[in-house]
Structure 1
Amino acid sequence: MFDISEQTNGQSISNVASVPQRSPFRYPGGKTWLIPTVRKWLKQEKKIANELIEPFAGGGIVSLTAAFEKLAKQIIMVEMDEEIAAVWEVIFNGKNQWLADKIYSYDLTHANVKAELENPNKELQDIAFCTILKNRVFHGGIIAKGSGMIKNGENGKGLSSRWYPKTLRDRILSINFVKDKIKFITGDAFNVLEQNLSNESAYFFIDPPYTIAGKRLYTYFDINHEKLFELTSKLKGKFMLTYDDTPEIRQLADKYNLQYRTIPMKTTLHFEKNELIISDNFLWWENSTSPRSFT
């Protein structure tokens, strides 16, 4: 059953507070709220999924949850954004202790942050640290060009509003327990999907930059949405594709004969809205949830 905290028009909104926070990112557009649904989807065959592929990894909450909760034997995370990818490369490829210690011991001041971000001589681990830094001290966790530092923050705490050094250190180090299950690729989601079209044993969790908010939130927001729908329609494995609920996205789903459902969510500003879940089948949904809207 859903972990339900509220009801909206008869549909449940998942309680984000009930989901273990595995990611070091405060990720804009992240899918922590969707984790109860993802769990059902990954358990649809009543056995551990052989492989989970996340072509737009971002904050990685789905991949990390699958690894920690033993919902998939092997996981492939893919991310094109160089800054976000640097964090995952450092975490998965041997510098995670350095990153955890740097965060834990860092003296967070405006002057130090400014100096850190303006340093032109950055190695991979420095890029990773600066990415986490920006994610935690920029408005809304947005690291894309045009974002800026928090001023007042929550309860007047300023920069430290979202800077939890011990928590971040612990999250990064805890990934050591599951890192052998995860392969990280710095690369293009479209290439990975094309290479795995015939992979019948894989589950694909596909969470691309959305058509409306993507430009504001991400560096690589400009993707070919129609091509993504075309590739998704050709996948032999099981898939879950998430999108904003717009007439254009519904038209693309209809064009490529893809089934979808609406699911309610609550934004960081507590506005309620619907998103679309597009999948190769919805037996897993209908067998475990109350009926939801379908078009």
Structure 2
Amino acid sequence: MTGLRGGRGALKRPVLSPLRYPGGKSTLYQNLLSVVRENNLTSGTYVEPYAGGAGAALALLITGQVQHIVINDLDPAIFAFWWAVVNEPSAFSRLIDDAKLDMHEWARQKEIYLTADRQDYMGLGFATFYLNRTNRSGALNGGVIGGVKQQGRYKIDARFNKPALVERVRLVGIHSKKIALLNIDGLDVIASYADRPKVLIYADPPYFDRSGSLYLNSFTPDDHCKLASVLNLHAQRNWLLTYDNVPQVHALYASRRRELISLNYSAHRVVKAQEVMVFSDALVTESLTTLF
């Protein structure tokens, strides 16, 4: 296996997602772009069954590399955020402009996040966004940047650049008709889209190592096995997968091509992690070995 480019060594990529997402893969933009072009998928649809921040999806769509994207997340709070931004970008932008960045408002938004009606997409979606932008590492169950007493080096507003965030929301709104939103099991998304023409599926599921509560949802060992079964069943379709580099992954995908990638994460401190990218048999990946 060779090493693919990611993290700090990656070519410049657009940062377009309004969310800060722990473990996000927007850093793989150049690799995904190469896959799209090499497999003649520039007129196709890019699908993320476990979207989270959807950084790579938005980058590929807004730069015109794909024609449509599918954003799916089973977490109702993350889905609410995407629904609000895609369907009501102007209203969402006004909430950003009017947002108070202090501990009183942080506590209020946290209460909304915990207790809001799951169908209140705007209220729940903005609370999710607010916590994501004001919590350490973007973790919704994490503590506020700067601490409750706001005595840290960085304060609650450190990752809440209102003009930049409004611009990102505006760009999502401009492309809203090319974005499909789903709030279902990722396995159902894969099964639904795998056999369609001109589709690339990128699966970035919760990992085996759940240290630090980075992921909003978690997988059981059975969930990992079910995902492998579905993807291996569609080995002749266009998909790729990233995982933590653990023996279970190599066992589950022993018949598929695998490459090691290095990514930088900043959960409390910058950590370089080695992960595994798995490819379907149908996917052409010759150019990826040059991306060091």
Q: State the TM bucket, normalised to the shorter chain.
A: 0.7 to 0.9
Paired residues of 1:200 and 1:237 also in contact (CA < 8 A): no
1:85 aligns with 2:79: yes
1:18 Cα shift? Answer: 2.0
State which of 256, 262, 265 in structure 1 corresponds to 2:263: 265
* 1:260 maps to amino acid: R
For residues 209 and 10 of structure 1, the distance between their equivalents in structure 2, rounded to whole angstroms, comes to: 22
In 2, Cα distance between equivalents of 1:10 and 1:100: 40
Q: Tell me the equivalent position of 1:114.
A: 107
Aligned to 1:3: none
Q: What are the equivalent positions in structure 2 for 1:148-163 lying under 5 Å apart?
A: 148-151=143-146, 156-163=153-160
Inter-CA distance 113–273: structure 2 relative to 1 (3 Å threshold): closer
Task: Tell me which residue corresponds to 1:233.
Answer: 232
Cα distance in 2 for residues equivalent to 1:189 and 1:10: 27
| Equivalences for residues 121-200 of structure 1 within 5 A | 123-144=120-141, 147-151=142-146, 156-200=153-197
| TM-score of the superposed pair, with normalisation by structure 1 | 0.86
Percent of aligned positions that are identical: 22
2:92 maps to 1:99: yes
Q: Is the 8 A contact 1:207 1:242 kept in 2?
A: yes
Give SS of 1:161's match. coil
Listed one character per residue, the Cα deviations across residues 217-268 of structure 1 (whole Å, up to 9, x for unaligned) are 22321250111111111224211111111111111111xx111111112222
- 3-state SS of 1:29 partner: coil
- CA change 1:241–1:121 in 2 (3 A) is closer
What is the CA–CA distance in structure 1 between the aligned matches of 2:82 and 2:89, rounded to whole Å?
A: 9
The alpha carbon displacement at 1:206 in A equals: 0.6
Give the C-alpha shift of residue 193 in structure 1.
1.5
Q: Which is further off, 27-36 or 208-217?
A: 208-217
**C-alpha distance in 2 between matches for 1:291 and 1:149:** 37
* TM-score normalised by length of structure 2: 0.86
One-letter code aligned to 2:103:
H
* Alpha-carbon distance in structure 1 between the residues aligned to 2:28 and 2:98: 33
Are the equivalent residues in 2 in contact too, given 1:80–1:186 (CA < 8 A)? yes
Distance 1:50 1:291 in 2: 23
Amino acid at match of 1:62: A
Query: In the alignment, residue 285 of structure 2 is paired with which amino acid?
Result: W
CA distance in 1, matches of 2:273, 2:109: 38
Where does residue 275 of structure 1 map in the other structure? 275
Structure 2: 5+ residue runs without aligned partners? none
Describe the superposition over 1:155-187 as per-residue Cα deviations: whole angstroms up to 9, x where unpaired.
Answer: 723211211111111100111221111111111
Letter in 2 for 1:72: V
Between stretches 26-35 and 207-216, larger displacement belongs to 207-216
Please give the alpha-carbon distance, in whole angstroms, between the structure 1 residues aligned to 2:23 and 2:193.
25
104 and 201 in structure 1: CA distance in 2 versus 1, 3 angstrom threshold: same
Provide the rounded CA distance (Å) in 2 between the counterparts of 1:30 and 1:42: 19
- 234-243 or 193-202, larger mean C-alpha shift: 193-202
Residue range with higher mean Cα deviation, 169-178 or 24-33: 169-178
Aligned length: 279
In structure 2, do the counterparts of structure 1 residues 247 and 103 end up closer, same or farther at CA, with 3 Å as the change threshold?
same
Flag the structure with more relative contact order, 1 or 2, with Cα contacts below 8 A and sequence separation at least 6.
Answer: 2
Unaligned runs of 5+ in 1: 1-8
1:291 to 1:156, Cα distance in 2 relative to 1, 3 A: closer
